Amino acid sequence: MGQSKCPNCDGTLEYRADHRKFGCNSCGSFFTEEQVKKLFKGKNKSQAARPIMEDDEFCQGELYKCTVCGAEIMAEADLKIGWCFCCGGGLQKQGNLPADYRPEGILPFEISRDAAVEILKDNLAYGKLSPSVFSSDEVLSGLKGVYLPVWMADCNVGINVNGTGRTVKSWIYGDQLYTETRDYSVERNGEAEYFSVPSDAVGKMDRDLMAMAGNYDFTKLQRFDSSDIFRYPAEYCPVNKGEAFKCIQEKVKEDTRKTVGKSVSKYTDFIPENEDIDILGTYWNYSLVPLWLLTYTSGRKTYRFAVNGQTGKFAGEPPVSPVKLTFWALLVFVTVVLLTLVLTTVTGFAGPSDQNGFLVRSIGTGAFLGAAAAALVCIAAVRSTRRSYEFVPDTYAGDAETSFTTKLDRYVRQYTTKVKNK
């Protein structure tokens, strides 16, 4: 068969005796010999169905490259963006946009600039712990809209599942509990087509910031229009197919398992004996997702905040102002001291108020309690600015078409048991 290329990531396929299949070292796909033969006879089905798009207009943009992090940034010709939005480094013009840099789809901004400013103000506001400068108009005017790349794949999936479908019925007759079990030999063979399954790879942008900005709903994907890129600069990132494929494969397999599960849902139980779900071909394309980005440098520290351009989710760690923190700590301290003074006077806890040393005892107790309370409040306040985030997967359309060429449910056996009903 010679050197065969992996249809999912262009890696090299090698026969793996332990799997009795051909395996790809870089993305972990497996193919039977039959599948490999078929693939190279008909080439990649989904790829062949796609017209190659030539778009002169797209090429009118310019490509810039960051001299620090290497990010490739696509922008309108002669737009003076000046610095790399991924790292703040300098940009060097590379020339016209290569035609194959054209994205397939785009998620439009649904959060307006004004709305994004409000979201930032809410999170970095006065009264909270961040220094006031962060919510000032001057800093907020630095808010920029950018597009980030997400690689996606259309996948052609081969399904080869068989197992036992079992129905269980039980009834009571007299003082006996009867259980009737019927077994069926179940076979599901076929194909499924998936479109635009997103991977998690996101170029040079800070991964933590992107993770905090949350997921995107790719069911709202629109066809890319070159005017989008002229409005906001976009990052291009070549795909690491092996890496991205692993993530896509997981999503597709999980989803295909669900589809197979639905087709055997009439059984009480399905016990799989063989479950081969393989991606037999992949068409790669990428889409742009919108993000509002604010970078602010104060002293030696650079702060970055982001607002998801589709959902409005805030991302970033709001800074804590020492002045504001001291103010809140003092307020709590003084309040507790005064409160203790009043309470000890009323209750006589620190002895009669006309006795010598009353003030010392009362204020001493108050200062002790006040310091503890202030410390607790400070810890709680600083903690509240720390963002914890959980990983939420992106929403995408999922299984577009599943066709089972074989859908066999063959009756095998039936048996009834009876036990004494308690």
Could you list the residues that contact Zn ion (CB under 5 A)?
A: 6, 8-9, 11, 24, 27, 29, 66, 68-69, 71, 84, 86-87, 89
Helix axes 322-347, 358-385, angle to 10 degrees: 140
Say if residue 274 is exposed, middle or buried (CB neighbours under 10 Å; 0-12, 13-18, 19+).
exposed
Of 25 and 285, CB closest to Zn ion: 25
Alpha-carbon span 345 to 330, nearest angstrom: 23
Of 67 and 268, CB closest to Zn ion: 67
Is the sign of the CA dihedral 334, 335, 339, 340 positive or negative? Answer: negative
Of 68 and 381, CB closest to Zn ion: 68
Is the sign of the CA dihedral 215, 218, 220, 224 positive or negative? Answer: positive
Q: Give the shortest CB-245-to-Zn ion separation in angstroms.
A: 6
Does residue 238 sit in helix, strand or coil?
coil
Of 153 and 336, CB closest to Zn ion: 153
Q: Give the shortest CB-160-to-Zn ion separation in angstroms.
A: 19
Of 83 and 230, CB closest to Zn ion: 83
Phi-psi region of 20 (alpha: psi -120 to 50; beta: other; left: phi over 0): left
Alpha-carbon span 256 to 278, nearest angstrom: 10
Q: Give the shortest CB-268-to-Zn ion separation in angstroms.
A: 38
Q: Give the shortest CB-7-to-Zn ion separation in angstroms.
A: 8
Q: Give the shortest CB-26-to-Zn ion separation in angstroms.
A: 5
Alpha-carbon span 75 to 62, nearest angstrom: 5
Of 153 and 229, CB closest to Zn ion: 153
Q: Give the shortest CB-90-to-Zn ion separation in angstroms.
A: 8
Of 8 and 365, CB closest to Zn ion: 8
Asked if 84 and 253 touch (Cβ cutoff 8 Å), the reply is no
Residue 405: phi and psi, rounded to 5, are -80, -30
Q: Give the shortest CB-120-to-Zn ion separation in angstroms.
A: 22
Q: What DSSP assignment string belongs to 329-345?
A: HHHHHHHHHHHHHHHHH
Q: What DSSP assignment string belongs to 98-112?
A: PGGG--SEEPPP-S-
